[in-house]
Structure 1
Amino acid sequence: MSLVVPPDLLGAALEWLRGLDGVRPERAGELLSDLRGRYPEVRMRLLWQREAATGEYHYDLLFPSPEGSVSLAFAPDRVIPWPLRGGQRSGEQLVLRVNGVDMTMERAVSVLDVLWEDTGLARRLMNAALVEEALATRHTDLSADRLQKAMDAFRRARGLMTPQATLRWMAERGLNHARLEEVVASEAAVAELRREVVDGRVEDFFAAHGEEFDRLRVVRLRYADPDRAAAVAARLRVGAVPPDEMEKDTDPVALAAEEMLAGVATCRMEANGRGDLVALFGAPAVDARAGQVLGPAGLPDGGFCVVRVLAVEPAVLDEVTRRLVEGRIFDDWLAEQRRHAHVEWFWGSRARTDELTTDLRA
């Protein structure tokens, strides 16, 4: 679908941009709803940046379409023209200074080598950018009443039940009230986007993938020694020990107590979603049933985990499961967006960034 431009749009948009002189981004975002209301058939996205030297804000109005984008900007004659705004002062490259030693952004990023080994952080960064892109072209303005309800829910979720607790929480994070409202409005907008993505899809998704939301009751043993973990997994597996020792060695509760008393393992009895176990143990957990042994599997902290499944509770579409299904649908939507996203990395070698991008699109 090509970008259709109403005859008077560019003139009206330019006049609107002129009116943003001296306006802060949060107010500019509010004003954009007026322009969108006049041209509801046109997708619009407002971009802004702050000039560190003067504190001035520069705005670009973007009109995206599948075939490309049109960008419109206006810069008053007293500010730096937009083509020069890519030039950065040295201070803008600093993250912190410790005992007189400057930590630049480039140096800080180079310390994050974990990004190349664990794609989780890179995926979160990319997801955040994709969500921001999706929100930028939607009408997400909150009325005062809706913002207050969102603020109340935000505070309840974090246990901020008194004004004093809220003020302490804000002070710890360097937030003023205006910035807190921005954070709350952003969360509310993301929640609305998620509702749009999952609307009408939960029941069909659960019908097709219900087993993935089963609850498995397990005995979980954690070891520091991989050899001990492997030996215990072997003892727990049916047929791994002589018949005369079978009952003793395959009783997971008795074995857990034995290992704990010996001081070589910690133990928990817990209920896990099947998806959590699949993330840890991979394919063997996909159809794990009562009596099955999973592991050992390495843990992020360097330990090793062995699990014996005690029982499987088939999933039902209650409120808890519904939230899990909605999360999966939204995650799948993000994965689809990543597969088609144009990604540019501004640090790291080409080989590393290409490999990481490929992993993120898988």
Structure 2
Amino acid sequence: MTAVSVTAFAAVLAEAVELLRGLRRRRTAVPEARSLAAAWAATHPEARAQLVVGLRPDSPLVDYDLLVEHPEGGTVALSASPDDGVPWPAEHSAHWAAGNWAAGYLVTVDRVRLRVAEALMLLPRRPYGDRDVHDEIVEQCLLMNETLEDGEPLDDADIRAATEEFRAGHGLRDRASTLAWLAEMSLSGEQFEAFIAGIARRRRFRRRKEAELAPGHFAAHRCDFDRVRALWVTGSQPVNGELLRGVGGLLGCGEAVVTVGARWARDLPAPLRHAAHDTLVGPVAYGDGYLTGIVLERRVGRDDPETLVAAGETAFDEWLAGRRRRASIEWHWL
């Protein structure tokens, strides 16, 4: 998330409250509400805002919540109650205890409705990079949607890879720990096999989609896949770039972090991504301090297998983000 000040975030929250207060609460107005929320979210991309629609059983009314990412981490949930004479606690408790949650459902994403127990099984013990739990659950549901009609048989390699991925993510080191986990989750062997088959189908879909998208993405973003070896220094004080030509000269600098390595151009700090060979960059403002760097070597990106794998992964992430923007996502909170 792009860093924003607490003051700026307070202004975002104030706008979010006004947005919620202005949404019409009839079921027939939900598409309009989603459109308004999406338009507002587009003006504040750093907030990663998401509208949650709560359907009341046997009622024409709905409730809205807005999830907004805090600049220092975590998520802030906003709710707004109309001045209609109904006490807020009573109305809110009805909202959060709506029928879907009572039935054990956590979220509905398009055609997939996921139970709480299923979500707990999907989530690994270790987090996925900088994504939060909501992102991981929604991503898995989106992939489930894509594989609903997948009747193609799975081969042994698919099953083995899915099993290894699952065990690694849940810290299951051997057969004994896996059996203990199954007992804890009250899963039969047949249920576990079906669960692993689902993982395997989603892995296969992702692998094929990456291979499909890779050539086009590489052709459109070739310079992002230059292989670049660079050296850069980040710190609270600017560093003279000429010192990088003899690293010993850095010994007289204050506290700084020195990095040297080879990266895809897209993975370098932004000031270095498109710099030519032997070019000094900086010092320039970077993060909370300054960056100074030099490109030691730059090789033009080629469509070899390693590069296409990287291009496919990036293209898939972009495809998935677009798929999410088009999806209908409803959380069924308690």
TM-score (norm 1): 0.45
Computing the radius of gyration over CA atoms, which structure comes out larger, 1 or 2? 1
More RCO (CA 8 Å, sep 6+):
2
TM-score (norm 2): 0.48
